[in-house]
Amino acid sequence: MGVPINGTVAPGWEPVRDVFVANFEAQGEVGAGVSIVHRGECVIDLLGGYTDKTDSIPYSQDTLQLVFSTTKGIAAIALAMLVERGQVDYDDFVVDHWPEFGQHGKNTATVAQLVSHQCGLYAVDGPLTLDEALEWDLITSRLAATAPRWPIGTAHGYHALTYGWLIGEVIRRVDGRSPGRFVQEEIAGPLGVEMYIGLPGEHEPRVSPVTTQRATKKESKVDPKVAAMIEKFMGPGTPAHDALSLSGVFGEGAFNQPRVRAAEIPAANGITNARSLATIYAATLREVNGVRLLSTEIRERAARTVTPENEPDKCLVLGTTFGMGFMTSGPFVPMAGPGSYGHPGAGGSVAFAQPSRDLAFAYVMNAMSANLAGDPRSQALIKVASSVADSL
C-alpha cells in the first residue's frame, strides 16, 4: 500500500506532484504539505504521508504543523504592514518606540538593523530558564538589558530565536497588540487561513509533532571531517549554538511541548499549513480573497537585501542575505532565484514569494532533516515549480 496523497493539482502542474510523491521514497519523508499560488490561482495544494512514524493518522487538511523559522517571514510581513500604515519606519531608531532598548549604547540602532540581524543580540546576558524565555515581558526586558555582541551595524549574525521577540516587541509597542494577535486579526483572519503564533489549546490535538526522517536506500554515514567541522562551528559555546538554542534553553524536543507551542515566539513557533503560508505570501504580491497585505513599494523595500554582499554570518559562518526580516535569495537560501523573499525553517520548511514569476510557494513537513536551509525535498519541489511556471 502506497503513501496516502491527497489534494489538488491544476492542469500542467502534475510534475510537482510527481516530485512530491518521490520525496516519500527517496528522501525519507513522513508527512508533508506543499502549496503553490501562481498568478493568484492556487495551482498546487497537496498533502501526503502520516502525522508520525506510526502511520496511524494520515497527514490531512486538518493537520497543523510547526514551521520553526519560517515563522520569521510572517513576522516580517506584519511589521511591513505597520510600515505601510505609517505607524513605524524602518529608519526609525528602535528607542523611538521601545525606550528601554537603548541600554548599553543600543540607542543608535534602527529598526532596519534590528530586523536584519545586525544588532548583535542573538542571545541574552546572564542565565535563563525555559520558563523565563516563555514569558514575553521578561524575555523582552532581558533583551533590552543585553549588550550587543558587536558594534551595531558593523556585522550581521542570525538571531535565530531572539529575532522574534525583538521584532515582536516593536510590533507590540507600535500597534498595542501582541504579534500573535496582530497576525490573527490582520493577516490570518482576513485571508481565511490558519497561522498561529501562540497556539490556542483547542488546536493542540491537530498538531503533527516533529520527528526524524525515515531511513532510505540513499542513507550514508556522515563524514567524520564534516562532523568535526559542525562541532567546531556549532557546538556548545559557539555563537551558532547560542543563537539556535538560546544558549541551550531550547533543547531537543522543546518545540514538541504544548507550553512552548502556546507561547508567542515569532521567530520559531508558528503553527500553520502549506496552504495558509502560500496564500499569505501571494497576498503580498496581489489581492487574494479580497485582501492585499502590502503595496508594491513597501514590499520591494522590505524584500531588498541590506546585508553586505558576501559578508559572513557571525553565527552561521556562511554568507547569509537579509532584507527587512525576510531572507532574500542568495547562495545560502536560493529559493526560486533572484527576487525571492521569505524564510526557511529548521529541518526543511520554507515559504516565499517571487514577484517576477508571480509565484508564492510553501512547503511544510514533520520529518526534520539536519539542515537550516536548502533542504533537498523543498529544493526539488521549487525547481520543478519554477520550470512549470516558466512554461505557462
Res 220: pLDDT: 47
Sorted by sequence, the CB contacts under 8 Å of residue 291 that are 6+ apart come out as 190, 191, 283
Per-residue pLDDT tens over the stretch 63-122: 999 999 999 999 999 999 999 999 999 999 999 999 999 999 999 999 999 999 999 999
More confident of the two residues 185 and 230: 185
H helix or E strand, kind and range, residue 228: helix 224-234
Q: Which residue has the cell 549554538?
A: 241
User: Helix crossing, 376-391 with 14-26: angle to 10°?
Assistant: 170
310 within 8 A of 156, measured Cβ to Cβ: no
- Residue 315's Cβ-count burial label (10 Å; 0-12, 13-18, 19+) is buried
Q: Is the pLDDT of residue 225 over 60?
A: no
Q: What is the pTM of this model?
A: 0.96
What mean pLDDT is predicted for residues 240-245? 95
The C-alpha cell of 242 is what?
Answer: 547560542
Q: What are the Cα distances from residue 310, in Å, to 58, 269, 287, 316, 332? A: 43, 29, 35, 13, 11
The C-alpha cell of 55 is what?
Answer: 502511520
194 within 8 A of 67, measured Cβ to Cβ: no
Which domains are present in the chain? 63-354 (3.40.710.10)
Cα dihedral across residues 328, 81, 43, 4: positive or negative: positive
H helix or E strand, kind and range, residue 232: helix 224-234
51 within 8 A of 366, measured Cβ to Cβ: yes
- Name the pairing type of β-strands 359-365 and 350-354: antiparallel
Q: Please name which of 23, 74, 124 lies closest in space to residue 381, comparing C-alpha atoms.
A: 23
- Separation of alpha carbons 116 and 137, rounded Å: 22
How does residue 374 score in pLDDT terms, banded at 50, 70 and 90? confident
Per-residue pLDDT tens over the stretch 198-207: 999 999 999 9
Count of helix runs (H) and strand runs (E) in the chain: 14, 13
- Residue 232's Cβ-count burial label (10 Å; 0-12, 13-18, 19+) is exposed
- Separation of alpha carbons 299 and 354, rounded Å: 11
Q: Any idea of the CA torsion for 319, 146, 304, 160, to the nearest 10 degrees?
A: 50
Share of the chain above pLDDT 70, in %: 95
Res 69: pLDDT: 97
The C-alpha cell of 41 is what?
Answer: 490561482
53 within 8 A of 214, measured Cβ to Cβ: yes
Q: Is the pLDDT of residue 271 over 80?
A: yes
Q: Is the pLDDT of residue 332 over 70?
A: yes
Res 236: pLDDT: 84
What mean pLDDT is predicted for residues 340-357? 97
What mean pLDDT is predicted for residues 215-242? 68
Q: Is the pLDDT of residue 140 over 90?
A: yes
Q: Is the pLDDT of residue 40 over 50?
A: yes
How does residue 214 score in pLDDT terms, banded at 50, 70 and 90? confident
Please name the residue ranges forming H helices in 14-61: 14-26
Q: What is the mean pLDDT of the chain?
A: 94
What mean pLDDT is predicted for residues 253-261? 95
